[in-house]
Amino acid sequence: MKIYVPMDSAAKALGADEVAEAIRAEVEMRGLEAEIVRNGTRGMIWLEPLVEIDMDGERLAYGPISEDDVPALLDGKIEALGKVEDMPFFARQTRLTFGRCGLIDPLSLADYEVHGGLAGLRRAIAMPQDAIIDEVKLSGLRGRGGAGFPTGIKWDTVRLAKAPQKYIVCNADEGDSGTFADRMIMEGDPFTLIEGMAIAGLGCGATKGYVYTRSEYPDAVAVMRRAIEIARGAGVLGADVLGSGRAFDMEVRVGAGAYVCGEETSLLNSLEGKRGVVRAKPPLPALEGFLGRPTVVNNVISLATVPVIFAKGAEHYANFGLGRSKGTMPIQIAGNVKFGGLFETAFGMSLGELVNDIAGGTASGRPVKAVQVGGPLGAYLHPDQFDTPFGYEEFDGQKALIGHAGIVVFDDTADMLSMARFAMEFCAVESCGKCTPCRIGAVRGVETIDRIKEGDESAIPLLTDLCETMVDGSLCALGGFTPYPVMSALRHFPEDFTSQKEAAE
């Protein structure tokens, strides 16, 4: 008998460690033969801690389980939810990047290989650099961190650059509200990120990689560091990757948690031990990045998706999706919802289906008023826009962005003027201070919205002008995208701005 208890941070926050210890003690007391495996999460957070028991070849789920439920669980008195794969929330997904997450022991390389791990790397080893790059281009993979830039083009730029040293940098500085996919993959399937970075290194001619993450992710840091040690010991990393004669090694670096260090040039400055401020472009990091050398900077999900592309083929991956948005996206559902968690699906599902069907509507039972997609810099979408398919160009047509695909749901009690103010305040606090439109504009934005709140509707045109200045003049996306939530709130919910005078009186 194998008993799976997640070691994912979300599950641990809900008592998974206590449940695991209670199961260990109860198994020992009863003299049962059972192996307790600390797996990653299956992504259904409302059911955590979700315990799975594999006995006689059948793996059944139970949840949420508390430590007080353990005796009854082992007595067979708690009804099973069935197989995770048959549960509606899970069965409707297309799990490619997250295919192993929650299924395997995250720190068992043997378990990883049994479930298809390293097949992509072995295939890549037999390919020349240009063929590796062409495979990524053919897959249509685009950056999953927010910009949606074609991954293959970025890799090719680094490959063609002339330099004695090149680097692969994984941006794991996941700072957006309502996002947790990077953390889940690092805690639940770290070898897929390692494999993806190794393939990137082989394709670009880079021999060194770094995973840059935040100090708020201690569990992910510990798992990644241990996984790297295991991979190095097994010859997956090092001077002779899987006996190929080609080198690639990597390590984890931890930042202090500045939001702006999610921007690639700020991240590189921090990685070099400097203050995390934005660099002007050009030069691009692909030509002059870490320590002035050609550097690939990709998000966790972008790199973790590479192994499945090489294992199953670029055409297989490209067959999923919508238009230029190829493949799948792990959508993180959060906020006021009944069913929060991670839902990986092919691009193309409508926002309304995600919110009302998959997420089950609001937890409060009240009508949905707005959905913010793409973190604190993402636009607020109105229910009238819920037929918008989940795709890069489709969201751009709605003056919105997918970002890291976190969606945060609000019911009809939300005050959108307050949410717009929060966006400006967030930018003011998190600005690195390098450019004036962001550093000063966000402060003026808070002041201007406060005037509107006090009933001064003449300040609304001023707010619009200020947002245009920030979009056009900011050095990076922090100042450039802060107007998205502000202007979308003003555009779709004008009553929350124009009714302030009466409310103030």
pLDDT of residue 266: 95
500 pLDDT band, cuts 50/70/90, is low
Once rounded to an integer, what is the mean pLDDT over residues 388-417?
A: 95
Contacts of 260 (CB under 8 A, 6+ apart): 266, 276, 277, 278, 430, 431, 432, 476, 478
pLDDT tens digits for 309-358?
Answer: 999 999 999 999 999 999 999 999 999 999 999 999 999 999 999 999 99
At 109, is the pLDDT very low, low, confident or very high (cuts 50, 70, 90)? very high
Q: At what angle do helices 459-473 and 483-492 cross, to 10 degrees?
A: 140
Burial class (CB in 10 A: 0-12, 13-18, 19+), 291: exposed
42: exposed, middle or buried (C-beta count within 10 Å: 0-12, 13-18, 19+)? buried
Report the half-sphere exposure of 367 (CA within 13 A, side-chain side): 5
pLDDT at 421: 96
User: What is the per-residue pLDDT across 62-97, written as a single tens digit (0 to 9) for each?
Assistant: 999 999 999 999 999 999 999 999 999 999 999 999
- pLDDT score at 175: 87
Question: Average pLDDT, stretch 255-276?
Answer: 93
Of 62, 121, 95, 67, give the one whose Cα is nearest residue 343: 95
Q: Which residues contact 310 (CB under 8 A, 6 or more apart)?
A: 119, 120, 121, 123, 124, 135, 199
d(CA 23, CA 387): 46
CB 497 within 8 A of CB 452: yes
Task: State the number of CA atoms in the 13 A half-sphere of 476 facing the CB.
Answer: 25
Distances (CA, A) of 415 to 69, 212, 485, 503: 40, 36, 13, 12
Contact residues for 482 (Cβ-Cβ < 8 A; gap 6+): 377, 423, 424, 426, 427, 438, 442, 445, 467, 470
Nearest one of 174, 172, 139, 125 to 305, comparing CA atoms: 139
Q: Of 362 and 498, which is predicted with more confidence?
A: 362
3 state SS for 190-259: HHHHHHHHHHHHHHHCCCEEEEEEECCCHHHHHHHHHHHHHHHHCCCCECCHHHCCCCEEEEEEEECCCH
Mean pLDDT of the chain: 95
449 φ/ψ angles, rounded to the nearest 5 degrees:
-65, -35
pLDDT at 235 over 60: yes
Q: How far apart are CA 191 and CA 40, in angstroms?
A: 12
C-alpha 258/C-alpha 266 separation (Å) is: 9
State whether residue 390 is helix, strand or coil: coil
pLDDT average, residue stretch 187-198: 98
pLDDT exceeds cutoff 70 at 501: no
> Is the model more confident about 5 or about 256?
5
- Rg of the chain taking only CA atoms, in angstroms: 23
User: Per-residue confidence at 180, pLDDT binned at 50, 70, 90?
Assistant: very high
- Give the length of the chain: 505
Q: Which amino acid is at 322?
A: L
Please compute the mean of the pLDDT values over residues 277-285 and round it to a whole number.
93
> Is the distance from CB of 408 to CB of 485 less than 8 angstroms?
no
- Sequence letter at residue 450: D
Q: How confident is the model at residue 257 (pLDDT cuts 50, 70, 90)?
A: confident
Print burial letters for 95-107: b (CB count within 10 Å at least 16), e (below 16): bbbbbbbbbbbbb
Angle at 351 (CA atoms; ends 389, 48), nearest 5 degrees: 130
- Measure Cα distances from 311 to 1, 72, 196, 324, 345 in Å: 31, 42, 11, 22, 19
Strand, coil or helix: what is 330?
A: strand
**50 pLDDT exceeds 60?**
yes
Could you report the per-residue pLDDT of 461-484, keeping only the tens digit for each?
A: 999 999 999 999 999 988 999 999
Cα–Cα dist 151/160, whole Å: 15
Predicted confidence (pLDDT) at residue 126 exceeds the cutoff of 60? yes
Residues 6+ apart with CB under 8 A from 8: 16, 40, 41, 48, 184, 187, 188, 219
Q: How confident is the model at residue 171 (pLDDT cuts 50, 70, 90)?
A: very high
| 83: alpha, beta or left? (left if phi > 0; alpha if psi -120 to 50) | beta
Q: Is the dihedral of CA 414, 392, 200, 114 positive or negative?
A: positive
The pLDDT assigned to 146 comes to 75
d(CA 398, CA 383): 12
- CB within 8 A of 43, min separation 6: which ones? 90, 98, 101, 102, 184, 341, 342, 343, 344
User: CA 428 → CA 285, 445, 460, distances in Å?
Assistant: 26, 9, 19
Which DSSP symbol is given to 43? S
Instruction: Give Cβ neighbours of residue 279 (< 8 Å, ≥ 6 apart).
Output: 265, 266, 268, 269
E strand intervals along 38-193: 51-55, 58-62, 167-172
Task: Indicate whether this model's pTM tops 0.85.
Answer: yes
- Among residues of the chain, what percentage have pLDDT more than 70? 99
Q: What pLDDT is recorded for position 496?
A: 94
pLDDT at position 177: 87
pLDDT value for 502 = 56
Encoded tokens for 27:
């198994």
Domains and CATH numbers, the chain: 2-92 (3.40.30.10), 109-319 (3.40.50.11540), 323-407 (3.10.20.600), 416-497 (1.20.1440.230)
Structure tokens at 418: 């307050």
pLDDT > 90: what percent of the chain? 95
Tell me: pLDDT of 204 over 90. Answer: yes
CB 285 within 8 A of CB 264: yes
State pLDDT tens for residues 426-449: 999 999 999 999 999 999 999 999
